[in-house]
Amino acid sequence: MTEKEKAALGMLYNANYDTDLKEERLDCQELCAEYNRLMPKELEKRTELMKRILGKTEGEFMVEQPFFCDYGYNIEVGERCFLNYHCTILDGAKVTFGHDVFVAPNCSFYTAGHPFDIEQRNEGLEYAYPIHIGNNVWIGGNVTVLPGVTIGDGTVVAAGSVVTKDLPAGVLAAGNPCRIIRNLSE
């Protein structure tokens, strides 16, 4: 079983020393660097290049510069998805953004984590768990979403939050660790 196959199954895998994964990350980093060098008004070129970087796109979407990710092919964005400046996605596993998602500046989405065991960590082992962002979600500035998290449809995550656990649909959540403040229907 390859390291990439292990990652897709949520198993510990070697991302640091596996030559295939290192090469895929370097290829993606070069595409991201090219994207980040484009002039802001080169919208058509930006969209074309972002479609090469991302695994799946639907309809119109916008990714502001600079943008950074590990592999790109694990990222899916829905229609009218907007990722603002300085978005970082460590996509060792799938990261899915639904339709009409707004992500403020300086947000990070980390599917990757490392074992607490020192020997395993020093071997370069890590795990990757998928992140799913539902439709009509608003994520405030400087939010970090950790591995394995699902954020339900219509939820708002306040600026500066660290989302460590799933959030249901239709809530306002905030804090570190992020917790539900109230239902948005209230």
Q: How far apart are the first and last CA of the chain?
A: 50
Rounded CA Rg of the chain: 16
Contacting residues for 186 by C-beta, under 8 A, at least 6 apart:
none
* Dmax (CA) of the chain: 52
- Please say if 114 is a catalytic residue: yes
Active-site residue, selected from the candidate residues 86, 99, 114, 132: 114
Helix axes 43-53, 19-37, angle to 10 degrees: 170
One-letter amino acid of 141: G
**Positions marked active-site:** 114
